[in-house]
A = this chain, B = another copy of it.
């Protein structure tokens, strides 16, 4: 079980990568090391089964196993958030129930991602599904992968549901995020998190509540420190840490030219720290030796591992 969400969520809630031994085999030992590594960084929660966790590529069986094991490992230390985004509503419900059974704190839900849907259709979808969920939920705006935008008007409407605790925005569109901040200016209990780690510092400096920073799988304290500096208004320190965040983004995540370079680089980097392997679910493949060596070189340059 994870810690319940008694107060509004604030801070860094890393989207955990999923340690795998094979296509449908969880790396339990790696998972334990990874959870301890991340929690040792002082994070404020843990988000499993997001995009960074390769959730859509995993079987329900493995997803349930991951939920159960992770909640048990985390115990009551931090809240665990569980992604339930799925093209099939029964799939979303199955994962949501597993999360409730494991005493996760909340769910994270993006629109289903195969069929086109208007904002009106999405409104109905969210309202009908959220009414059935056994746990509170964070909305997840992820147009890059789902091709659906949760427009500000849709966010406003869904935020009236008591079960909706906040929204994670991975749209990369900071104007949209500022409009969310404006929309919820008088509702500080509604949590606004930003997805891309490169945007966390500015999001927090200007009124956001935290971030789901993938890089926290490698070095959680960097993002926790950056969040705290930004939340405290320590601009100089925030800027210094932001530089490191961008350095990692511009080097460790850019070894390949493909769009999957971020996910491959991130998992490779965690593996180079000896935490877990870098096996990836289809269709993504772990880096070969040459790229892996390049990730290592860039991690050294970024001070993430010793030379």
Known: A90-B59, A201-B206. A243 touches B113 (CB 8 A): no
- Which of chain A's residues 189-238 have a Cβ closer than 8 Å to chain B? 196, 198-199, 201-202, 205-207, 233, 235-236
Judge whether A175 and B147 touch: CB under 8 Å: no
Q: Which single residue of chain B is at the shortest CB-CB distance from A124?
A: B285
Cβ of B91 and Cβ of A59 under 8 Å apart? yes
B residues within 8 A CB of A128?
Answer: 282
A101 contacts which chain B residues (CB < 8 A)? none
Q: Which of A4-12, A34-42, A256-264, A270-278 contacts B (4 or more CB under 8 A)?
A: A256-264
State whether B239 touches A206 (Cβ < 8 A). yes
Q: Which residue of B lies closest to A234 (CB)?
A: B235
Q: Are A57 and B114 in contact (CB under 8 A)?
A: yes
Do A175 and B121 touch (CB < 8 A)?
Answer: no
Give the chain B neighbours of A111 by CB distance below 8 A: 283
Asked if A129 contacts B182 (CB within 8 A), the reply is no
Is the CB of A58 closer than 8 A to any CB of chain B? yes
Q: Is A65 an interface residue (CB 8 A)?
A: no
Q: Does A97 contact B (CB under 8 A)?
A: no
CB distance from A143 to the nearest CB of B (A): 12
